[in-house]
């Protein structure tokens, strides 16, 4: 690290759990973020501010006026722009050293298979069940840890999938991919704006712990937040030996 980096990241370096070695690991890390919306905005901004050296952000959508209630990296002046480009602009205003690769495409299976390979961590900040399952499957195939978050209305959840941990469950163990899941979206159900900030920031925290080695992750636990009462609940989760996604890795 140079002198400017030592100063910029000094508050992390002061932490015994991070230190210079942990910060250097962050600077060398490459994170893939799926979604540049309510969760992706705070997650990416915190990763960039914390010095994660390379970020690849995937989202096919453009900034809309209705996004600005919660997607804090976007601005009124960037309505109509691709979300990934808007988010990259926000990142570079905070930390110009971060290398941002933008992918303005829908995150389908083929794209995920290409992008997940070789990454240090993946953050699923998408807003639909099918994409979450596709991201999980790609991370399991490529043995890459995944931080998955979701928010709808006043309800939020976050977990970590770490295929490197032999007995840790994947997202498919918790939410079967073949389930007849009724898709709900904030465009029809609504979402309490600050909750996406809470969960997006936590996704960044979990990703940073994974790349720096600062502490144990949420692998094997599902955290759920009721935004009405601000009460957290924690569920210990087990690997499903019959999971169609990860059972062949047992």
CATH match of 3-249 with 3.40.50.720: yes
Cite the DSSP H helix spans in the chain: 3-8, 10-13, 19-28, 40-49, 83-94, 109-116, 129-142, 171-174, 186-189, 193-212
Under the banding of pLDDT at 50, 70 and 90, the label for residue 181 is low
Task: Report the mean per-residue pLDDT for the chain.
Answer: 95
Any idea how long the chain is? Answer: 250
The pLDDT of residue 248:
83
Distance CA 128, CA 195 (A): 17
Domain definitions of the chain by residue range: 3-249
Distance CA 31, CA 119 (A): 6
- CB 121 within 8 Å of CB 210: yes
Under the banding of pLDDT at 50, 70 and 90, the label for residue 121 is very high
Catalytic residue list: 186
Largest CA distance in the chain: 54
In the structure encoding, which two tokens stand for residue 249, read together?
């890795």
Does pLDDT of 180 surpass 80? no
* pLDDT tens by residue, 13-44: 999 999 999 999 999 999 999 999 999 999 99
Under the banding of pLDDT at 50, 70 and 90, the label for residue 97 is very high
Under the banding of pLDDT at 50, 70 and 90, the label for residue 250 is low
* pLDDT tens by residue, 51-86: 999 999 999 999 999 999 999 999 999 999 999 999
pTM comes to: 0.95
* pLDDT tens by residue, 133-171: 999 999 999 999 999 999 999 999 999 999 999 889 999
Q: Beta 155-161 vs 231-236: how paired, if at all?
A: unpaired
The pairs formed by 63-69 with CB atoms below 8 angstroms and a separation of 24 or more are 66/187, 67/37, 67/38, 69/193
Angle, to 10 degrees, between the axis of helix 193-212 and the axis of helix 19-28? 110
Q: What angle do CA 138, 200, 123 make, to 5 degrees?
A: 15
Return the higher-pLDDT residue of 113 and 183: 113
């Amino acid at each position: 690290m140079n002198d400017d980096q030592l100063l910029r990241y000094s508050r992390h370096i002061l932490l015994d759990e991070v230190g210079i070695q942990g910060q250097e690991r962050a600077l060398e890390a490459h994170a893939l973020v799926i979604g540049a919306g309510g969760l992706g905005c705070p997650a990416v901004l915190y990763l960039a501010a914390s010095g994660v050296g390379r970020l690849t952000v995937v989202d096919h959508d453009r900034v809309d006026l209705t996004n600005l209630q919660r997607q804090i990296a976007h601005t009124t002046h960037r309505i109509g722009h691709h979300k990934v480009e808007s988010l990259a602009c926000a990142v570079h205003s905070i930390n110009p050293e971060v290398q941002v690769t933008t992918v303005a495409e829908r995150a389908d299976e083929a794209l995920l298979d290409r992008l997940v390979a070789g990454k240090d961590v993946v953050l699923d900040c998408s807003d639909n069940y099918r994409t979450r399952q596709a991201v999980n499957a790609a991370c399991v195939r490529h043995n890459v840890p995944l931080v998955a978050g979701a928010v709808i209305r006043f309800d939020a959840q976050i977990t970590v999938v770490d295929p490197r941990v032999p007995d840790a469950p994947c997202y498919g163990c918790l939410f079967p991919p073949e389930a007849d899941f009724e898709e709900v979206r904030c465009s029809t159900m609504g979402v309490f704006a600050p909750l996406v900030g809470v969960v997006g920031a936590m996704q960044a925290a979990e990703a940073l712990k994974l790349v720096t080695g600062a502490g144990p992750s949420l692998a094997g636990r599902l955290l759920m937040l009721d935004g009405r009462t601000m009460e957290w609940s924690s569920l210990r989760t087990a690997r499903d030996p019959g999971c169609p996604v990860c059972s062949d890795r047992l």
